[in-house]
Amino acid sequence: MRGVAVWSEFLERAAQEAMVADLRDVVRAAPLFRPVTRWGKPMRVRMTSAGRFGWVSDRSGYRYEPRHPSGVAWPPIPASVLAVWEAVSGADRAPECCLVNFYDADAKMNLHQDRDEADFSQPVVSISLGDEALFRIGNAERGGSTESLWLRSGDVLVMGGPARLLHHGIDRVRAGSSTLLPDGGRINLTLRVVT
């Protein structure tokens, strides 16, 4: 799909459950927050991070920071998540950020590029947990045709090489399509090399 590698059902149910347990520890250390755009509009997803850096957004713009907005250091990236990076990324560097996005039934993410990192030769690895989401992929430039794909719990996606800077987003979440998260919703993890 436009150079984006997709591993359907890469994580079996037991591995997904173990990863969610690891992520609960991350959220306890660095609670989910709702960032705002540089124009002051709240985003629809709640997020946090793990690793050396976390991604934040506020009226100052989009960027990576070494600390959670509360001032605490980001917790380490769980070993269960790092194992996925090592298995699929093909990268010679370890990720420095694991962005944790939580989508409820009404959340979506507009088409965007991941451009805040310093080295675009390093891939972005995405892990889907929980409810299914309609992922849309476009082009390096804004506009033009797009393609869509339903991502299911346990799917892993890698954007690397020419696909690294393609516009992409989540059009909608299919509420109740997974029983992984007791209260529903979708968790998306994206692993990145920042520096």
Residues 80-92 have pLDDT tens digits of 999 999 999 999 9
pLDDT band at 15 (very low <50, low <70, confident <90, very high): very high
Q: Return the CATH number at 52.
A: 2.60.120.590
Q: Residues 6 or more apart from 24 whose CB is under 8 A from it?
A: none
Q: What is the pLDDT of residues 91-128, one digit of tens each?
A: 999 999 999 999 888 877 776 767 778 788 899 999 99
In the predicted structure, residue 1 carries a pLDDT above the cut 70: no
In the predicted structure, residue 39 carries a pLDDT above the cut 80: no
Number of domains in the chain: 1
Closest CA to 103 of 77, 75, 135: 135
Calculate mean pLDDT across residues 173-193: 95
In the predicted structure, residue 157 carries a pLDDT above the cut 70: yes
| Cα-Cα end-to-end distance for the chain | 28
**DSSP code per residue over the chain:** -TT-EEETT-S-HHHHHHHHHHHHHHHHHS--B--B-TTSPBPSSEEEEEES-EEEEETTEEEEESB-TTSPBPPPPPHHHHHHHHHH---SS--SEEEEEEE-TT--EEEE----SS-TTS-EEEEEEESEEEEEE--SSSSS--EEEEE-TT-EEEE-GGGTT--EEEEEEETTS-SSSTT--EEEEEEE---
Q: Identify which of 18-22, 38-42, 173-177 has the greatest average pLDDT.
A: 18-22
- Of residues 59 and 131, more confidently modeled: 131
pLDDT at residue 136 in the model:
87
pLDDT band at 30 (very low <50, low <70, confident <90, very high): very high
Range of the domain at 42: 5-192
Question: pTM for this one?
Answer: 0.92
